[in-house]
Amino acid sequence: MDTVELVEAFPLRIPRPTPYLGGLEHGVEPNAKGLFIRPGNRTVYSVHDHTVLVRVTAQSGQAGWGECFGVVAPEIVATIVKELAEPMVVGRHPHQVVEVFDDLYDSLRVRGYFGGFWLDALAGIDQALWDLRGRLLDLPVCHLLGGRRLKQLPAYVSGLPGTDLQARAAVAKDWMERGFSAVKFAGAVAHEGELAEIRAVREAIGPDPQILADFHWRYTGSEAVAIIRSMEPHGLAVAEAPVKPEDVAGLAHVARSVQTPVAAGEELRTVHEYLPRLEARAMSIIQPEMLHTGVTGFHRICLLADAFHCRVMPHATIGIGIGQAASLHVAAAIPNFDMHEFQHTIFHRNLRLVDTDMDCREGHFHLPEGPGLGVTPKPEAFSYMVEPWPPP
């Protein structure tokens, strides 16, 4: 039996020319760690790209790779992987991947940790075990999940960085000319308001492409209903995250009150968090995030949502492509996939740090062809390790 001998975590800090979602708002300064709050949604961001890689190595020397959510303070999740999870994973077989996921989840349930950083750590370990299992069997992960339904996966362009409305609309137009047919703008940096934003983008790209709006959890239910209704004459395809994550009743009120499909879920990690929202019919599109859920959690969430006749538009966060590949593998295997978020300010820039044939062009993601997840970090990825790591 080729059991796991070593679990390692690598927190990365990758400089980027401008922060995710564009430049800092007037008067906003990053703190000593490079973190800052966007006033538009009162949420912490970093001036860098951060991620956490996980490598699981079997006795034979074969390794599998995963990626944890590490957008801020990646050292936290890396420490949890090493200090808490590794001893529970060493000695297990990669064919036990689902069992290992459940055992780790169970181990801290009554300590009160059934979400947050602990689940982010599990997500990276779980992807790495699926990758290792695929490499040992010489099969891609989508085949291990029961089949590849799609050759290429429709993608939508996410985020329109630009200092003013015209600049942001021009970014949308540019991507539509490159063969994409759906674009999403970010409410937190739509400084003239969402209605002005959709008007400008629609004017720039014409009547056909889909326009999605991420409301960044900024409104009450009734505020969101009024704003979404005002945008509907301009062809709003999806209304994402209109209310705060805790406001399940508010989200259900929005979903009942507008024509536009409501999407939510990027901040959720387990079926237990999705279930009350699905039962309340609070959204018709779910947006699971692979770096929070792992392959096992993501797959379960999608199948649960399918029983509620919900479509899946997976969220894509900051990473170097391992989590992205894992998300595509599950997306290709589930019955209710719709389209995948394409983070155009992150994807190709960080893809230089990995060996893969994964790509996103002309409106579609192309799944990597190799065994496992099909993405292996290059040595240069580790030049971005947070120093000192591990801490002295």
- The residue ranges that bind Mg ion (CB under 5 A) are 214
Q: Which is nearer to Mg ion, 95 or 191 (CB)?
A: 191
What is the smallest separation between the CB atom of 267 and Mg ion, expressed in angstroms?
9
CA distances from 289 to 82, 200, 314, 340, 341 (A): 22, 29, 6, 11, 10
Residue closer to Mg ion by CB (options 242, 374) is 242
In the 8-state DSSP scheme, what is residue 372?
B
Phi and psi at residue 69, in whole multiples of 5°? -60, 125
Nearer Cβ to Mg ion (120/214): 214
Tell me the chain's radius of gyration from C-alpha atoms: 20
Least CB distance from residue 287 to Mg ion, whole Å? 7
DSSP state string for 249-307: HHHHHHHHH-SSPEEE-TT--SHHHHHHHHHTT--SEE--BHHHHHHHHHHHHHHHHHH
Which residue, 43 or 96, has its beta carbon nearer to Mg ion? 43
What's the min distance (Å) between Cβ of 73 and Mg ion?
Answer: 20
Local structure of 50: helix, strand or coil: strand
Q: Which is nearer to Mg ion, 85 or 190 (CB)?
A: 190
Q: Are 352 and 28 in contact (CB under 8 A)?
A: no
What minimum distance in Å lies between the beta carbon of 5 and Mg ion? 38
Residues sharing a CB contact under 8 Å with residue 390, sequence separation 6 or more, in sequence order = 82
For residues 184 and 299, which CB has a smaller minimum distance to Mg ion in the complex?
184
- Beta carbon nearer to Mg ion, 131 or 214: 214
Consecutive H or E run containing 312: strand 311-312
For 21-78, strand residue ranges (E) read 35-38, 43-46, 48-58, 63-68
* Residue linked to tokens 């703008």: 185
| 65 or 69: CB nearest Mg ion | 69
Q: What minimum distance in Å lies between the beta carbon of 247 and Mg ion?
A: 16
Cα–Cα dist 231/219, whole Å: 15
For residue 49, the minimal CB distance to Mg ion (Å) is: 17
Minimal CB distance to Mg ion: which residue?
214
Choice between 86 and 266, CB closer to Mg ion: 266
Q: Rounded distance, CA 367 to CA 288, Å?
A: 18
Q: How far is the CB of 240 from Mg ion (least distance, A)?
A: 5
Backbone phi and psi for residue 51, each to the nearest 5 degrees, phi listed first: -155, 170
The Cβ of residue 381 has, within 10 Å, a number of other Cβ atoms equal to: 21
Provide DSSP, 150-176.
Answer: -SEEEEEEE----SSHHHHHHHHHHHH
Considering the complex, what minimum distance in angstroms separates the CB of residue 311 from Mg ion?
Answer: 16
CB of 227 to Mg ion, least distance (A): 16
